[in-house]
Structure 1
Amino acid sequence: MAELLYRLGRFAARRHWTVIGAWLALLVLTAVTYVSFAGALSSSITLPDTPTTRVSQQLEDDFEGTGGGNGALVAETTDGSAFTAEQESQLGDLFDEVAQSDQVADVTNPFDTQQQLDESAKQVADGEQQLTDGLAQLDAAQAQVDAGREALAEQRRQARESGTLAAVREQLAAAQQQLDDGQAEIDRNRAKIDEQAPELELGKTLSDLSSPYRSVSEDGSAAVANVVFEVATNEVSAEAKTAIEDLVADAGIDGVRVLPSQEIAQTVPSILGPGEVAGVVIAAIVLAVMLGTLIGAALPLLTALLGVGVASLGSLSLSGVVDFVSVTPVLGVMLGLAVGIDYSLFIINRHRRQLKQGADLHESIGLANGTSGNAVVFAGITVIVALLALNITGIGFLGLMGTVGAVAVLVAILMAVTLTPAILSLVGMRILRKRERATLAAGHRADDAAVTDRDRPMSTARAWGVLGFGIAALLVVAAPATQMRLGLPDGATQPPDSAAYQAYEVQAEKFGDGFNGPLLVVADLPAPIAQDEVLAAQAAVGSAMGDLGDVVAVVPIGASKDRDALAFQVIPERWPSSESTEALVHDLRDMTPETDGGVATLGVAGNASANIDISEQLSGVLPLYLVLVVGLSLLILVIVFRSILVPLTATLGFVLSLLAAFGGITAIFQIGFLSDLFGVHEPGPVLSFLPIIATGILFGLAMDYQLFLVSGMRESYAHGAPARVAVQHGLRAGRSVVTAAAIIMISVFAGFVFSHDSTIKPIGFGLAFGVLLDAFVVRMLLIPAAMHLLGDKAWWLPGWLDRILPDVDVEGAKLERSHPAASSGD
């Protein structure tokens, strides 16, 4: 590989315009394919075959008009007063217009819905009052009949005593018949009431369960229209959602603002915003300081930006046939910028060092490409493998994110080993500072590869101190990770000036937190029931759900076509991402309420339920993926360093820095520590796929720094330096370039922390914080200390394993021996 890259570097140096032209042509080609074939991005994250999707499918199949996705249009008066009749009419017209939009099945008019709810409650109350009045009338009539019987009995006694019974017998019989007829009428009416009472009681039970549900707030100043889509929310096209947003924005109802909920107003994050640009500017400053020339600083930025353009446009060209989550291309940009700058920097730094040692220009370019370029390819492959391994999770959108990220890294590698040599050839000796060129012209040659007095090893006491303190510090930072909860962004996490956030706040304030995350519950009955048994079954199941904690309202929706299942809407007490709502979903699924026909089983759907299912499935595959990555880390490092203990320390260091990164993420984005500093206005669960994404990316980047630092130690040790001296020599040789590379990567990732998007923000922070800890704490402090303590044992390898392991020669030592850097012409 080193020899091939050497030849490729020399070819690119000689045919620089050909290489540059080819890359520019590829950029144009990807731009054309993007314009021709790109589709819309989605902000929805879904997984197939989860408990939620199965219930949603059942709703679609068996309950007419309930299987599609749902969103909300929240209307509120600007002055807090109740809606006027004219405003209600204008809102009704708006909702009717929205109902005509593509992929919209229905839009409920909240004012009509609230009127129906009020009328239904009134009917139940009136029925209850009529029943009470009827019973009172019957009791009064019964008292009259009873009094009449007593009076008749007294008349009969008196007539018997006076001897006139025969004379009044006919009259007494008529009176008795009248009383019997009255009693019969009372009995008939009481039987009717007894027959109606159970149904009325069932109606009262259901009315009480659903009474807290409202579509218009109690003060009349806010209303929520439910938008029912023809398909699942994640399948609704961006064009359809945009059309609804446009209708709402152009409504122009005086004194009223209409806000689409997050399910409708989902925004696609910008790929490059002010924060991201600031990160690139910081990277440019670091490059200028390290390399000392503006040309040198511009070169890695140029190749990285061109690589990002090619990778992003190429990947997005497939978005017309593959569903892209909106965060996917942003992740590609993050990685493409960060590794693109770093990989080019490694080759440029090696080239500059060789030039200062007197190497010929093109020979130096070839050697830099064959040595540092070889390490770049190997390090990049580790990142690519870690990202592609996301596909084994079986989670489609996660695998696609990994694949797009891997493509960005692959393009960055190809840019580094082809375009960087070509531009270095164009730049020539100007890649050096003027002072360096003058020193070189005067015949002075640098020799920074030799072991010197500066490579004195640290003391053993200091090594123990650094190792102990570093591990303890990382464990302290990692401690909050023990409280990590996973979830997906909801309206509360959106930017405060966004419609989605404002709609969320209005619903929470005017209706209650739980109205932002209603649950759809399907009760599967043991057998189909008759039409007249539906009400009793609804009351039994609804009462059982209502008895659970954290339930505000249970609203019956209806029965399935063959009446073997019932559907309900359940309003939780707290917001969608709360622990209590998560517990409620599990409690509902575990319930087996009793009905007259037997035991029912419950399934739960809805946006809050879907988020819970996705988060649980992602957290379930995280341990498997972590084991895979750790195992891959050990295997790669054993091959590279031909050692057992070096890979073990490197992998343990990676695990420590990863857990500490998780701790930082949890502290800021979930617990709220320093949340204002990072623009987190509503702490909540950690983004559900962030731990897996961070594991894959940070693993690859950690191996980058491990390769560039420890390979120098191994090379020095192989050349005869004492083990502990080799540690210091390798650290000194690679420290400056790794420091610059880490600062650049941190700057690029940190630029995304200030994104307005609640999905991008924690990813940017997690990667920036993870690189900070791994590069500066683990790789530059803990690993040198551990290797100092291990001494010669660090490089121990069993003989049998040494014989079967391939010699990958990451640093290209064989190439240097076969191609010494000559100062003669090319």
Structure 2
Amino acid sequence: MLSQTLYRLARWTTRRRWVVIGAWLALAVVVAGAAGASGAKLEDGFTVPGLDSQQANDLIAASGGGQDGITAQVVVTPAGDGTFRSDEAARTALAQLQTDVAALPHVLGTTDPSGALATDASATSGVVSSDGRVALLRVQYPTLDQLSAADLEALKAVPHDAALRVEMGGDLFFAYEGSGENLGELVGILAALVILLLAFGSFVAALLPVGMAVLGLAVGIGGMTLLASVMTVPSYAPVLGAMVGLGVGIDYALFVVTRHRENLARLVPADESIARALATAGRPVVFAGGIVVVSILGLAVAGVPFMTAGGIAISLVVLVMVVASATLLPALLAVAGRRVVGRRRLATTSPRWERWTRHVTRHPGIYAVGVSLVLLALAAPVVGLRVGIPDDGALPPSRTERQAYDLVAEGFGPGRNGPLVVAVELAGDPAAASAVAAAVAADPGVAGVEEPVVRGDLATIVAYATTGPQEEATADTIARLRADVFPAALADSAAVAHVGGQTANFADVGQRVNDRLPVFVGAVLAMSFLLLMLVFRSVLVPLKAVLLNLLSIGAAYGVMVMVFQWGWGADLIGLEATVPIVSFIPMFMFALLFGLSMDYEVFLLSRVRESYAETGSNDEAVVRGIARTGRVITSAAAIMVCVFLAFVLGEDAATKMFGVGLATAILVDATLVRLVLVPATMKLLGTANWWLPAWLDRVLPHVDVGHDPEPAAVPVPAPAPARV
């Protein structure tokens, strides 16, 4: 039995409280030290087998031309109002800058804008704008595994003459440049402390969940770095892991501490109270944490390796938080003793939430229909959701990458910021390269095409779209090249053409995620339905939970579209420009949110089920369950919302999306769904909530996360009279 196992575990940890705390501190130090000594690097590899863009990139890498590496762009313009043609000092400074950049370690080569200017070929060179104002120095590096952050620092440190304005961007910055200092963790922790202090009225009780979460996060993030030694872990994993780790860690601890304080109010001795708290509140924690881990690991369904790796890394953090809740937290509570009570009078139920629930259950139809319409309205913008990868154009204007991006778009057109690299397998037909280049150049979505470069049996053609990398029209151009242009150009040839490059790769990843999303959603829904049916011995309760969770997640998606695609309230979160939704975020959010929403579902319904077992009345069980959990759920949700919103302070658009999306979903789920729709629908369904066919009841195994009677009061001996 899970409850008995947790009870015995809590008794063991409370008896050895200092050993357990010391072991966790030692583990954090060892993991942090090992992570630092490992030298492991987090990498954003977008390699996805089976994509057309991946085939192009693999062919280019196999050709040995060096184009499979990463690049940086040094964008140069005269400091004054002149042009490179009219300003000799600027031309001389440009030539020197080009020489200095080419001499940097690991640089394989650069373009030659100064040479184009010297031969009067600048107008057609593709590296000097037609007006002579902007010169583009494209710097070729080898693959990422041969580079480090020192290469980026060396490029940024290259001196330049005062006659030039120099801005930089490109893949090298994407790989190694941080998105600015992110105070999300600190702000989230401080907000959580304030909320817990208001909820508990005790600084000790408020500090314990935060302390446990911080120590667990140290172990989890360190473990994530160690994981990067054996697999490719994306750079976004620590940020998202910190978000989720702090949120679930503090929430799980809050559930256990709340039950412990209730036991203390019934005069249960402290160590016994801790054991009972973990045996009761700890069961939903283990169950909900397991759902979060399984949901995140389900990202492997997408068939996108960097998403699978990120899911494994983040699920590790959640798993650490579950283990910390079952071991470290009881030890900390044992050290704190009755100081977790504070001066505020403890109550097992909240009269305010009891009145609210009775009000909702008196008007269930109105609330069920009204709130459902609100959530459907919030979710409606999902039909316009467009995925992609925000590029340097979404960064703040103060960043050099953004300024380089704007200069390139101004001088060469928006498509120059996202070149399309066409790889043509010639199959013994050298004329196919020219045929493909001519056909691509004739497409209305293409602004220009460079001369084909032939190496062996492979031709590489660089093309520039008329639209920017993030625009939907660019994805349409890529699709048109593959579906119409290439087949027509190579109708009489055995040659095969593929579109590669970062822009095409990002578009293909987004399409892969969209194609796999229905399968993933279906798998998670089925798994959640079955697990909840096992726990609550009901068909309608898990079905209702699945549908209501879909509503809250849909509302979060809709709000993301409003903010990031439509620009509503963008200024409030420091978003500089509208951007598509990052391709992998919808699936990641679904995995996280469906798991996190189960925290509240299991915690609430466990109490409802307990009350139903005690009273036999569905209506009274709903009222008692919410009266006992309403304050905890709202406090837990407020903590998560604050933690997630704190990450909006960062500059990275993807981090902002996660923050806004997760905060919205948790806010909606813990208020409109959990405290309005759940009591309203459970009232409407009545005793049918707990219906389970007899044959199914016999077949299903019993899971120990159900009824648990409230512990009886244990008298505390009166203190001996004072001696006179």
Q: TM-score, normalised by structure 1?
A: 0.82
Aligned equivalents of 2:490, 2:626: Cα separation in 1? 73
Of 396, 412, 419, which aligns to 1:511? 412
Which range moved further: 354-363 or 591-600? 591-600
Aligned-partner Cα distance in 1 for 2:314–2:108:
37
Aligned residue for 1:76, secondary structure, equals: strand
Q: 1:451 to 1:112 in 2, by over 3 A?
A: closer
For 1:771 and 1:460, locate their aligned partners in 2 and report how far apart those are by CA, in whole Å. 23
5 Å matches for 1:521-540? 521-525=422-426, 527-529=428-430, 534=431, 540=435
**Change in CA separation of 1:321 and 1:806 when aligned onto 2, cut-off 3 Å:** closer
Aligned twin of 1:223: 135
Post-superposition shift, 1:497?
1.8
Aligned to 2:232: 323
Contact in 1 for aligned 2:201/2:344 (Cα 8 Å)? no
1:148-297 to structure 2, matched below 5 A, reads 211=124, 214-231=126-143, 235=145, 237-239=147-149, 242-266=150-174, 267=176, 269=178, 273-297=182-206
Distance 1:812 1:373, change over 3 A: farther
CA distance in 1, matches of 2:520, 2:10: 36
Q: Which amino acid aligns with 1:18?
A: V
- 1:81 maps onto 2:86 in alignment: no
Q: Deviation at 1:709? A: 1.0
2:57 maps to 56
1:792 matched to 2:684? no
State whether residues 474 and 657 of structure 1, in contact with CA within 8 Å, keep that contact through their aligned partners in structure 2.
yes
Give the alignment of 1:636-655 within 5 angstroms: 636-655=531-550
Alpha-carbon shift at residue 608 of structure 1 (Å): 0.8
Q: Which residues of 2 match residues 579-594 of structure 1 at below 5 A?
A: 579-590=472-483, 591=485, 592-594=487-489
Query: Could you tell which deviates more after superposition, 89-98 or 708-717?
Result: 89-98
Who is 2:518 aligned against? Answer: 623
Q: Which moved more, 1:577-586 or 1:546-555?
A: 546-555
**Structure-2 residue corresponding to 1:175:** none
**Preserved CA contact (<8 Å) 1:640 1:809:** yes
Q: State the SS of the aligned residue for 2:363.
A: helix
With over 3 angstroms needed to count, the CA separation of the structure-2 counterparts of 1:638 and 1:285, relative to structure 1, is: same
SS at match of 2:247: helix
1:235 shift after superposition: 4.6
Distance in 2 separating the partners of 1:484 and 1:452: 37
Report the residue type matching 1:4 in the other structure. Answer: T
601-610 or 305-314, which deviates more: 601-610
Contact 1:108 1:227 in 2 (8 A): yes
Partners of 1:657 and 1:773 within 8 A in 2: yes
Distance in 2 (alpha carbons) for counterparts of 1:247 and 1:612: 29
Q: 1:643 and 1:310 mapped to 2: Cα distance?
A: 38
Q: Which amino acid aligns with 2:102?
A: A
Greater C-alpha radius of gyration: 1
What per-residue deviation string (whole Å, max 9, x for no partner) do you get for residues 475-532 of structure 1? 1111111011111121112232222111101101122111111111234456424xxx
Conservation of the 8 A alpha-carbon contact between 1:271 and 1:333: no
Q: Paired residue for 2:612? A: 717
Which of 549, 554, 575 is the aligned partner of 2:468?
Answer: 575
Correspondence 1:474 to 2:366: no
- CA 1:669–1:296 in structure 2 vs 1: closer, same or farther (change >3 Å)? same
**How far did 1:688 drift?**
0.7
1:285 deviation in Å? Answer: 0.8
For 2:222 and 2:91, the matched residues in 1 are separated by: 47
Moved more, 667-676 or 386-395: 386-395
Task: State the partner residue of 1:164.
Answer: none
1:32, distance to aligned residue in structure 2 (A): 1.2
Change (3 A) 1:277 1:502: same
How far apart, CA to CA, are the structure 2 residues paired with 1:347 and 1:339? 12
2:303 corresponds to 1:411 = no
1:556 shift after superposition:
1.2
CA 1:762 to 1:236, structure 2 compared with 1: closer, same or farther past 3 Å? farther
Aligned length: 711
Give the superposition deviation at 1:98. 2.9
The 1:354/1:512 distance shift into structure 2, 3 A limit, reads same
3-state DSSP of counterpart to 1:676: helix
Following superposition, the deviation at residue 68 of structure 1 comes to 3.3
Q: Is the 8 A contact 2:641 2:663 kept in 1?
A: yes
* Distance apart, 1:80 and its partner CA: 3.5
Any unmatched runs of 5+ in structure 2? 718-724
CA deviation digits over 1:96-143, x for unaligned, max 9? Answer: 333344443211122224556828x8xxxxxxxxxxxxxxxxxxxxxx
Would you say 1:777 and 2:667 are equivalent positions? Answer: no
Moved more, 643-652 or 583-592: 583-592
Structure 2 CA distance for aligned equivalents of residues 514 and 271 of structure 1 = 27
Runs of 4+ in 1 over 6 A off after TM superposition: 449-453
The aligned amino acid for 1:378 is: F
The alignment partner of 1:603 has SS state of strand
Q: Counterpart in 2 of 1:197?
A: none
Does the C-alpha gap of structure 1 residues 19 and 556 become closer, same or farther in structure 2, counting only changes over 3 Å? same
Match of 1:344 in 2: 253
CA distance in 2, matches of 1:790, 1:597: 67
Equivalent pair of 1:477/1:664 in contact (CA under 8 Å): yes
**CA shift at 1:678, angstroms?**
1.7
Residue 597 of structure 1: how far off its partner (Å): 6.2
Cα distance in 1 between the residues matched to 2:446 and 2:541: 55
Alpha carbons 1:520, 1:569 under 8 Å: kept: yes
Query: Does 1:690 find its partner at 2:585?
Result: yes
Q: What is the alpha-carbon distance in structure 2 between the residues aligned to residue 596 and residue 423 of structure 1?
A: 73
Shift of 1:269: 4.6
Question: Could you report, residue by residue, the CA deviation over 1:374-413 in whole angstroms, capped at 9, with x for unpaired residues?
Answer: 2211111111111122223332211121111111111111
Q: Distance in 2 between matches of 1:668 and 1:413?
A: 33
The structure-2 alpha-carbon separation of the partners of 1:27 and 1:804, relative to structure 1 and needing over 3 Å to count, comes to same
Contact 2:536/2:706, CA 8 A, preserved across alignment: no
Q: Which region of structure 1 is more displaced relative to structure 2, 217-226 or 420-429?
A: 217-226
CA shift in 2, pair 1:463/1:222, >3 Å: same
Q: Percent same amino acid among aligned pairs?
A: 34
Secondary structure at the counterpart of residue 317 of structure 1: helix
**Partner residue in 2 for 1:150:** none
The one of 608, 630, 638 aligned to 1:743: 638
Which residue in 2 is equivalent to 1:176? none
The 1-side partners of 2:232 and 2:435 are apart by 42
Structure 1 stretch 716-725 or stretch 93-102: which is displaced more?
Answer: 93-102
Name the SS for the 2:171 alignment partner: coil
Structure 2: distance between partners of 1:286 and 1:447: 19
| Alignment-derived partner of residue 715 in structure 2 | 823
- How far apart, in 1, do the equivalents of 2:372 and 2:616 lie? 28
Of 661, 682, 687, 2:556 maps to 661
Kindly provide the amino acid, as one letter, of the partner of residue 589 in structure 1: R
Write the distance in 2 (CA, Å) between the matches of 1:459 and 1:274: 40
Which residue pairs with 1:804 in the alignment? 699
Give the equivalent residue in structure 2 for 1:156: none
Match of 1:188 in 2: none
Between 543-552 and 349-358, the greater mean CA deviation after superposition: 543-552
